[in-house]
Amino acid sequence: MTAEPRPLGRPRVSPAGAVPLIVLLIALVAACGSAAPSGTPVPSGAAGASASAGTGEQPSPTHWPGGVVEAVVILAKADLEIQNAGADLGAAAAYEDLQMMWGAADGLATLVTKLQTQIPRIADYPETAAAAKSYDLCLPDMLAGARKVADSIKAGDAAGLTTGSQQLAQGLQAYAATRRLLGPLADQAFLMQKLLLK
């Protein structure tokens, strides 16, 4: 997911410029450190089992339009990539590694740009409309913040790094609420996808 970092030369941002990312790290704990949405797939793709394990219940058999199912599956799989980006940013801040921080922020911006194309696919369907609204609240700040962090590191702009970190943190905090909506939807979508493939 992380883009191949371009050589940045000697960054003009002091390693101390990474200190504002403490704000970001607090958001990462809230957004990415909590339990993953129950629909987040395991490598085998056997999603949906987590929500019903031990209860004997299965997600509702309501059939969604194929495009909605596909979009929710893409969003659920991307959740792990967002968590990985958060971990990379946290590690970069801890080691005051501006090159690593740039790569993680640039990769996150690329991922969020792709995810934004999925939101219109779920916006008009009643069962997923609330999640679409929640994504609309968090993705713009995540994208703008990640881009600002990456651009500020390249430009040696310490003030921009601070601003970008704060905006990214705001987006990630909002994403924590989105993840809570995503979990049950992902359970449904993976079950429907499994049934469609049979």
Residue 54 has a pLDDT of 42
Cβ(93)–Cβ(21) under 8 Å?
yes
Residue 47 has a pLDDT of 38
CB burial string 1-20: b at 16+ within 10 A, e below: ebbeeeeeeebebeeebbeb
Residue 12 has a pLDDT of 53
Residue 147 has a pLDDT of 97
Residue 193 has a pLDDT of 87
Task: Please give the structure tokens belonging to residue 103.
Answer: 């790569």
Mean pLDDT by 10 residues, the chain (198 residues): 48 51 52 51 38 45 86 96 87 84 94 97 97 97 95 92 89 92 95 78
Query: What tens digit of pLDDT does each residue of 122-179 get?
Result: 999 999 999 999 999 999 999 999 999 999 999 999 889 889 988 998 998 899 999 9
Task: Please give the structure tokens belonging to residue 39.
Answer: 């629909």
Query: In the chain, where are the structural domains located?
Result: 25-33+65-197
Q: Which spans in 61-123 are helix H?
A: 66-94, 98-116, 119-123
Cβ-based neighbours of 94, under 8 Å, separated by 6 or more:
none
